[in-house]
Chains A and B, each alone.
Chain A
Amino acid sequence: MTAVASPQDTGIRIRTEVKTQETSAGTGQSAISIENVSLSYGDNQALHDISMEIGERQVTAFIGPSGCGKSTLLRCLNRMNDLIDDVTVTGRITVRGQDIYSPATDVIEVRRRVGMVFQKSNPFPKSIYENVVYGLRIAGISDKKVLDEACERSLRGAALWDEVKDRLDESGLGLSGGQMQRLCIARAIAVEPEIILMDEPCSALDPIATLKIEELIYSLKERYTIVIVTHNLQQAARVSDRTAFFWLGRLVEYDQTPDMFTRPKDKLTEDYITGRFG
């Protein structure tokens, strides 16, 4: 049974009940289902007929050379592509059964259910506290107690609490690169999404900070479904349960990560992961 799958109309869900669902990876259930999705910017088609299922509470990695459409597909999953003019999406994407591109869907609600962490850490020029509770304030929550709780919970969830608990009032921009990225993760999980999308979250970080984020991803998997775009094949191999390889806007291969890296079925995949191109 799922704790929080019912469609919510307004407001934000503060998850207080203890999860009853088994937390092992790869439950086999599908959190996102992508069916025949194509996308074009004007006349330029960026995604060609992609279909795949993303498993509940798994880490799914999208890999592929630059411009292969992996980030574009990721941004379809919470409709961030809506911000770009002249984008056409065809096909169907459902998040736990809800068609997120149907006209009846509230796009704000979709983005609350599907949070996002970006390549470039982008904290707001506000205090650490305000950064974390931003999504809650936007949703109209102003109860100090609820915000305080959410702030601590999210910062703990993002493994940042111990480093910043004494300076929550300081600017979020005063943190180090890795801390800023974890602050962005805290901000994303503060609104209790079901799914977190990560667009190359470590590409601007040093190896130590990268390691911390990877550990964090591993622990977040207990509660969230995570989709991560990465250029770092070792990273994909380390953190993900399943990996999808994209090439020129097409899904070439999608499989369990160990299988993908040891026994790629497709020649292109093999060439890419062995470093022959990309």
Chain B
Amino acid sequence: MKLPLSVRRGDPMVWFTGSALGTCLLLIAGLIVIVLTNGLGFFWPSALVELTLKDGSKWLGEQIRRQPIPNPGSPDHLREHRVQLKLGNRDLLGYDFKWIDEKEIASRREPADAFYVERREYGPLLGAPVLLKDGERVLAEGDAVWAALQPLVAKAEHDRAAIEQIEKHEIGEINYRIEQQRLALKRIEYREKQDGVKREAERSAVAAAVAAQEERFRGKQQELDRLLATAATTYVTFRAADGTEKELSTLDIYRIYPANQLGLGGRLAVYAGRIWEFVSADPRESNTEGGIFPAIFGTVMMVIIMSLMAVPFGVLAALYLREYAKQGPLVRIVRIAVNNLAGVPSIVFGVFGLGFFVYFVGGGIDRMFFPEALPTPTYGTGGILWASLTLALLTVPVVIVASEEALAAVPRSMREASIATGATKFQTILHVVLPAAAPGILTGLILAMARGAGEVAPLMITGVVKLAPELPLDGFFPFFHPDRKFMHLGFHIYDVGFQSPNVEAAMPMVYTTTIFLLLIIVALNLTAIVVRNRLRRKYQTSAF
């Protein structure tokens, strides 16, 4: 039997391979679309609707979902719909999301005086401002409140920045100095215990330093009290949909907008403001509000430290394996082992990092250099250095494999040319082989970064935390604090998604954080790819 021409020509294979590629692309596109739609919509200030139900109750909120009601077995299965409202006002209601069956709804309107208020605690407040007071003095009532409130909200932002400057940075610095003195005192006590010599002069120096810092602290505290007294005198009263009223200090208002009066421009402004806050601010309300800046910072920093560790080690190891080691069964076994190491589950590396880096190396450092602080660990606990080293260990096999391939791809003729002009093997490697292999080595770095930036499991036991009060890089000597714990976007996603007390509120944060994790990985990779392409152009091997 003769097969049809199209089969003999191999057309089915074209379709077969094409559809495999198509499926992959579809899955990736689906992933991106789902993450983007769920994540980016979260910041959009949509209209606030007020639903009056048949029982007379009123609910004001953002409609965030509409779905058919499942009722298996009965004729109305999936016929009726229900909507989910984001109500806010958690302090008044005890919950902030509500499902409402559409058949219960008597009327629906978008009240012009509905405001969306982002505040310091309890999530957003939805309602109409009715009264603005300065102490006991009434500043504005009814519709006039909004106009009078706007400068106060701007002032509140300014005041909050001033308060944070004092609370976090200035008092933070004093606390840091006092802590240093406390450690110095412990060090003195420790040494006295060791050799029995009293060090009164040193003790009094420490005491004087502490006293000076405490004096500064009292000064700052008074400054802070004064600031608070002037900042927190104005209060605004909001009326919720059900008529209950809530008084809010203007200082606690982060953002307020009349959701149903905004034009497209106003909405875009709110949208951009929210995204900027998300990228640049610290998290609030157990990570369900505010931003993710510390997590972005921690992720990038960890990846950089990891690369700085993994690449030199990996390249050196690959150089030995490829250039110096006598190729034989032993080298083959090592190579297989390295390849397998790349496939070891990451949590295994995490456990190793905890046992080796944190307890053994970190504990050893503590015993040698910080005995006075014990039993409080300094390096003997998870920190960004140990997490980065653990990830470096995890990614070093990737770098070795890629570098080895890159070294093997440098043509033999090029090495011979160098040797024949009187270069030693070392000079050949340094001047000819490594530059020519650099693009391939960078490919290894890209793969390593892609793997390292996305790992969460090993980090959870080597130094990542839900909320890190301080960044690992700051203005205090020695500026870089490798012992500090840090936040990480991958862990942030896990934490917000699964550990949050308010799942409905946190869910969009999962998607938005995912977007930023992807963006950061893409940005890091793009940087490496640009560098690689420049090197490739420079060291392009001959086509001839």
Q: Does A224 contact B (CB under 8 A)?
A: no
Q: Does A171 contact B (CB under 8 A)?
A: yes
Q: Which of A109, A124, A177, A204 contacts B418 (CB 8 A)?
A: A124
Are B541 and A125 closer than 8 Å at their CB atoms? yes
User: Which of B177-185, B261-269, B335-343, B419-427 is near enough to bind chain A?
Assistant: B419-427
Q: Whole-angstrom distance from the CB of A151 to the nearest CB of chain B?
A: 14
Are B542 and A123 closer than 8 Å at their CB atoms? yes
Q: Does B411 contact A (CB under 8 A)?
A: yes
Report how far A173 CA is from B540 CA in the complex, Å: 8
Are A118 and B417 closer than 8 Å at their CB atoms? yes
Q: Whole-angstrom distance from the CB of B433 to the nearest CB of chain A?
A: 10
Report chain B residues within 8 Å CB of A180: 542, 544
Are B420 and A80 closer than 8 Å at their CB atoms? yes
Are B422 and A124 closer than 8 Å at their CB atoms? no
B 504-544 to A, binary, CB cutoff 8 A, 1 in contact else 0: 00000000000000000000000000000000001111101
Report how far A50 CA is from B506 CA in the complex, Å: 84
Report how far A109 CA is from B424 CA in the complex, Å: 11
Report how far A123 CA is from B420 CA in the complex, Å: 12
Report chain A residues within 8 Å CB of B143: none
Max chain B Cβ within 10 angstroms of own Cβ: one of A111, A125, A138, A171: A125
Q: Does B414 contact A (CB under 8 A)?
A: yes
Are A138 and B422 closer than 8 Å at their CB atoms? yes
Q: Which of B423, B539, B542 contacts A135 (CB 8 A)?
A: B423
Are A115 and B421 closer than 8 Å at their CB atoms? yes
Are B427 and A80 closer than 8 Å at their CB atoms? no
Report how far A190 CA is from B436 CA in the complex, Å: 22
Report chain B residues within 8 Å CB of A204: 544
Report chain A residues within 8 Å CB of B432: 124
B 396-434 to A, binary, CB cutoff 8 A, 1 in contact else 0: 000000000000000101111111111110010001100
Report how far A78 CA is from B417 CA in the complex, Å: 12
Max chain A Cβ within 10 angstroms of own Cβ: one of B415, B417, B423: B417
Q: Does B326 contact A (CB under 8 A)?
A: yes
Are A135 and B326 closer than 8 Å at their CB atoms? no
Are A138 and B416 closer than 8 Å at their CB atoms? no
Are A83 and B416 closer than 8 Å at their CB atoms? yes
Are A125 and B422 closer than 8 Å at their CB atoms? no
Are A125 and B417 closer than 8 Å at their CB atoms? no
A204 to chain B: closest residue by CB: B544
B411 to chain A: closest residue by CB: A122
Interface size on B, residues (CB 8 A): 26
Q: Whole-angstrom distance from the CB of A25 to the nearest CB of chain B?
A: 25
A187 to chain B: closest residue by CB: B421
Report chain A residues within 8 Å CB of B415: 83
Report chain A residues within 8 Å CB of B482: none
| Number of cross-chain contacts by CB at 8 Å | 84
Are B422 and A177 closer than 8 Å at their CB atoms? no
B423 to chain A: closest residue by CB: A138
Q: Does A85 contact B (CB under 8 A)?
A: yes
Q: Which of A78, A109, A120, A173 contacts B420 (CB 8 A)?
A: A78
Report how far A125 CA is from B434 CA in the complex, Å: 11
Are A134 and B436 closer than 8 Å at their CB atoms? no
Q: Whole-angstrom distance from the CB of B317 to the nearest CB of chain A?
A: 21
Q: Does B435 contact A (CB under 8 A)?
A: yes
Report chain B residues within 8 Å CB of A12: 422
Are A138 and B414 closer than 8 Å at their CB atoms? no
Report chain B residues within 8 Å CB of A109: 422
Report chain B residues within 8 Å CB of A223: none
Q: Whole-angstrom distance from the CB of A83 to the nearest CB of chain B?
A: 6
Report chain B residues within 8 Å CB of A188: 420-421
Q: Whole-angstrom distance from the CB of B406 to the nearest CB of chain A?
A: 13
B541 to chain A: closest residue by CB: A125
Q: Does A112 contact B (CB under 8 A)?
A: yes
Q: Which of B420, B431, B544 contacts A116 (CB 8 A)?
A: B420
Report chain B residues within 8 Å CB of A134: 418, 421, 423, 431
Report chain A residues within 8 Å CB of B544: 121, 177, 180, 204
Q: For chain A residues 15-29, which have a beta carbon within 8 Å of chain B? A: none
Report chain A residues within 8 Å CB of B431: 124, 134, 137-138
A 106-134 to B, binary, CB cutoff 8 A, 1 in contact else 0: 00110110011010111111100000001
A117 to chain B: closest residue by CB: B420
A190 to chain B: closest residue by CB: B421
B537 to chain A: closest residue by CB: A171
Are A125 and B413 closer than 8 Å at their CB atoms? no
- Known A-B contacts A122-B413, A122-B416; A108 and B424 likewise in contact (beta carbons under 8 Å): yes
Q: Which of A85, A108, A111, A112 contacts B326 (CB 8 A)?
A: A85
Q: Which of B327, B424, B427, B541 contacts A173 (CB 8 A)?
A: B541
Q: Which of A78, A85, A122 contacts B414 (CB 8 A)?
A: A122
- Known A-B contacts A122-B411, A124-B432, A125-B435; A171 and B540 likewise in contact (beta carbons under 8 Å): yes
Are B541 and A111 closer than 8 Å at their CB atoms? no
Are B422 and A139 closer than 8 Å at their CB atoms? yes
Report chain A residues within 8 Å CB of B423: 108, 134-135, 138
Are B422 and A122 closer than 8 Å at their CB atoms? no
Are B540 and A124 closer than 8 Å at their CB atoms? no
Q: Does A93 contact B (CB under 8 A)?
A: no
Q: Whole-angstrom distance from the CB of B198 to the nearest CB of chain A?
A: 61
B543 to chain A: closest residue by CB: A173
Q: For chain A residues 187-208, which have a beta carbon within 8 Å of chain B? A: 187-188, 190-191, 204
Q: For chain A residues 79-114, which have a beta carbon within 8 Å of chain B? A: 80, 83, 85, 108-109, 111-112
Report chain B residues within 8 Å CB of A108: 422-424
- Taking A83-B415, A111-B419 as known contacts, 8 extra A-B pairs with beta carbons closer than 8 A to each other, sorted by chain A number, are A78-B420, A108-B423, A118-B417, A122-B411, A122-B414, A125-B538, A173-B541, A204-B544
Interface CB pairs A-B, < 8 A, 22: A80-B416, A80-B420, A83-B415, A108-B422, A111-B419, A111-B421, A111-B422, A112-B422, A115-B421, A116-B416, A124-B417, A124-B431, A125-B436, A126-B435, A138-B418, A138-B422, A138-B423, A171-B540, A173-B541, A173-B542, A180-B544, A204-B544
Interface residues of A (CB under 8 A from B): 12, 78, 80, 83, 85, 108-109, 111-112, 115-116, 118, 120-126, 134-135, 137-139, 171, 173, 177, 180, 184, 187-188, 190-191, 204
Q: List 10 tightest A-B contacts by C-beta distance, closest first.
A: A135-B421, A125-B539, A116-B420, A122-B413, A112-B422, A122-B417, A138-B423, A173-B542, A111-B422, A120-B413
